Structure 1
């Protein structure tokens, strides 16, 4: 039933069109969105890849994922709907009664006057090429300190890095980078588990090599930070850096001020 509804309400032809709408919605509504609303919207966007633009989630699932009470999530969803960023389609259980998981449809962004040309140009760009170009100038904020370019800048030789990644398995490449800083298989497996969890819902949307490169950059940023900071939890720090780095690549061409 969900699959049929998702197909009916699919709002985008491809992932780059979805990405463009998400970036624009965040940028032009940033002053009206709370951090919770932003977090909820990002979560919906990450779950809206299989049926592009459509996410199927229970409120309790959203609340648990972002660490907020369900009533707070409900208010955030209401704001997103009022701003025409999403449309909520309530689903009912035909046999047992009551509400099931809701379907959330991310709406197309309607360009303001003067934006139409740029909208078309960005919509027609292929995701892999666009993301590689964006990654060259991407800067990530560390979890507990101001942003520093030297610590988190993705190297401009990204194509060489991607070529090397293609020649080995993802886990082997990931492990090699962790081993460059510390030989700890248990820690390596925990970090790789975090990487897999964070990229699970977008792995079909972007090149696997590019996502792995992002994971490697998060490793470098995390372990470099331990040299100058009191990092209490390497796994927690890595999780935060990876999340921010994925967001930076996801939204970067609009500018850093669109990520609150």
Structure 2
């Protein structure tokens, strides 16, 4: 079935997709994302490649702040990586919520062309700048999370449960009952995915933490009566996307 693509590549489209108002906002957000990548327990080559791609996208997103329209083949050639490696790295960054990829078509023949890759604002970027300045760094939840990640992920002996619990207690407060319910949600989703090695446990844990960050951030801007239920919904969507993209990747590689 032929994929239907709505967005026509061009300056108007790229301008409409711009995700930042200033280059300073873009740079600050990429620094936060790179800190989070550095804090993750990944193979060193994977971590290094993710950081390299993130930096490359930033450097080529300065005309329309946050929007890169370099093709993956061009990115691969510039970074001396394979096309498949770049595709996998971009998918991983998208699962983490750091970027979004938009399929584009040429205006000349309406055929598919290079995707637009858009760096996503940190979750607290929608707070008005003046209010953010008045509140100061103490109210910058995303910065707090990045610092927490550095504190927890850098210690190899700390278990995933401890990292999970620490994040909740440092943002929501001590509540063992809530921690148990939230971790139970993670276990319910993850057990089947990692059983018999179907999916990499570390990938699933990283997605679970990303979903937890999203759920916690939303409590700062939205009244959520059942945080465990909300987390269940966020995690379910992220894992569904991850599984679908992984299956699509396998099909492409086997073709």
**How would you bin the TM-score normalised by the shorter chain?**
0.3 to 0.5
TM-score of the pair, normalised by structure 1 = 0.42
| Higher-RCO chain (CA-CA 8 Å, sequence separation at least 6) | 1
TM-score of the pair, normalised by structure 2 = 0.42
* Structure having the larger proportion of residues in helix: 2
